[in-house]
Amino acid sequence: MAPQTTCFARSRAPGCSARLGGRRLAVSVHANLLPVPAAETRSTVDRIKKMRLITAVKTPYLPNGKFDIPAYDALVARQIENGVEGLIVGGTTGEGHLMSWDEHIMLIAHTVHCFGSKIAVIGNTGSNSTREALHATEQGFAVGMHASLQINPYYGKTSKTGLLNHLSAVVCEGPAIIYNVPGRTGQDIPDDVGLELSKHPNFLGMKECTGNKRIHNYTSQGVNCWSGNDDESHDARHSNGAVGVISVTSNVVPGLMHKLMHGSPDPALNASLKDLMSWLFCEPNPISLNTALAMCGLVKPVFRLPYVPLSREQREKGAVLLRAVQEHIPGCKEVKVLEDSDFVLIGRH
């Protein structure tokens, strides 16, 4: 028997009254906190479900640890120019977990305002707290994001019924991708939970990081999937039914990842990128990507702790790999190894 699910809707604020010149005025103030009706998001759902390349975009920083908006805008513009169809804003790669919610929603709003007519903006508004996920997702849709990325409760693991209720609640808010990465959350999203969620009209698909066998099982039952693993994404797309990939590597070589997802199967191109992909995950993401973009001169070498740059030895290995694809790295004029002293580590920001 499947676990019971609940779609939570918040009530509207009650009306209030005020006095003016001794007269009581009836002033009705309502806060619309109801979920976005599925009928209003149908075209968005249909469009995003077909996107082959979505980048989990990096968030660049200034030396004081605040957002480097000009560098961010340049990164996003290059993604659009090279065929990326959607962005995850403030995801794992974008370090949403190191942002305040004010920062997070501001960055989503900025991305929508500047680029929302050219690319799908998918805000990572998930949380291990259902209350926080609902509130952040409401705010994200209020500032115009097209969809949300939702994760299962990390650290504070719950029961299977609790897991399904948490994800069902946030999917009711509007179009959503469900992110399964048990290596980070410590809890898998079972297939029957994914299948149950897929019945909701706001369900966009699973970002699945547990491998292509799992993806094939989903897609064979009609469940939309994106690979969450760059090194498996070619085979996920061309052999296992995935619609595409939500990618880290496309921050660096968006055009090549576009070709890998949109073109015919290309085992040679896929093989040629494997060493770069492996290096980009030689330490937990986004450590290597942050280091790589700094080495390419695309972001300032600033890290919000607890992230720190790759070692000098790893930077030297990476420089060789990056120079081999430098012509495909938009905006990169030179790849530098950089010195340890070039990096700024920020604890308070």
CA angle 89, 262, 260 (to 5 degrees): 80
Please pick, among 154, 207, 307, 333, the residue that the annotation labels catalytic. Answer: 207
End-to-end CA distance of the chain: 48
Provide the greatest CA pair distance for the chain: 81
pLDDT attached to residue 35: 65
Of 122, 139, 156, which Cα lies nearest the Cα of 48? Answer: 122
Amino acid at 96: G
Query: Which two three-digit tokens encode residue 207?
Result: 């970002």
What pLDDT, on the 0 to 100 scale, is given for residue 41?
Answer: 67
CB atoms within 10 A of CB 212: 21
**pTM for the model:** 0.89
Q: In this structure, what is the dihedral angle of CA atoms 291, 250, 213, 215, given to the nearest 10 degrees?
A: 130
User: Per residue in 306-315, pLDDT tens?
Assistant: 999 999 999 9
User: Which CATH architecture does the domain made up of 39-265 adopt?
Assistant: Alpha-Beta Barrel (3.20)
Which parts of the chain have pLDDT scores under 70? 1-41
Tell me if residue 179 is catalytic.
yes
Per-domain boundaries in the chain: 39-265
Round to whole Å and give the CA distance between 154 and 187: 7
CB 55 within 8 A of CB 293: no
Separation between Cα atoms, residue 289 and residue 209, nearest integer Å = 18
Catalytic entry in 157, 179, 300, 336:
179
